Amino acid sequence: MGVTGVKMSWILYASATAVALALADILIKLGAGRISNSLAVLLYGSCTFLTGLIWVLLERIRGIPQYAQTSGALAAVGVGVCFSLVTIGLYTTFQTGAPISLVSPYVRLGGLLLASIAGFTLFHELFTWRYAIGMLLVWIGLYLLVTR
């Protein structure tokens, strides 16, 4: 059991997700300036659409029921819009010549801070002094990255 009483098996999934996110940043950096932002987002959206379609079809074949409450569907659409904005933001930022070694950590750590604040304020998640110290270190890390 982890510190919060939740099994720590999520770390494997989160680590694989972090690898995929890092690869996405690297690929965006490689593509920035070599493809228009609008076409890049269209290709990104097409890939996510096809991946989702294949997943839904596989689950239907396996007999897994599909369902959606209005709030869940709206949240999913919001995720799509937000990730599209992230993609546009990264392409635009990398087109300026900004270094991936600065942009990627800045975007991720900034997002982490905002998501953590939402966790505490909206979802009433556990806040500890150890966590506060960790978040302070993230703020310090962001400062050190930006002022390097």
Q: Does residue 14 surpass a pLDDT of 90?
A: no
Task: Give residue-wise pLDDT tens across range 95-145.
Answer: 999 999 999 999 999 999 999 999 999 999 999 999 999 999 999 999 998
Q: Does residue 5 surpass a pLDDT of 80?
A: no
pLDDT value of position 146? 87
Give DSSP secondary structure letters for the chain. --TTSS-TTHHHHHHHHHHHHHHHHHHHHHHBTTB-HHHHHHHHHHHHHHHHHHHHHHHHHTTPPP---HHHHHHHHHHHHHHHHHHHHHHHHHHTT--HHHHHHHHHHHHHHHHHHHHHHTS-----HHHHHHHHHHHHHHHHHHT-
pLDDT level of residue 4 (50, 70, 90 thresholds): low
Task: Enter the pTM of the model.
Answer: 0.83
Q: Does residue 3 surpass a pLDDT of 70?
A: no
Domain extent listing, the chain? 1-98, 99-148
Q: Does residue 46 surpass a pLDDT of 50?
A: yes
Task: Give residue-wise pLDDT tens across range 69-78.
Answer: 999 999 999 9
Average pLDDT of the segment spanning 50-67: 96
- What is the phi/psi pair of residue 101, to 5°? -65, -15
The percentage of residues in the chain with a pLDDT greater than 70, rounded to a whole number, is: 95
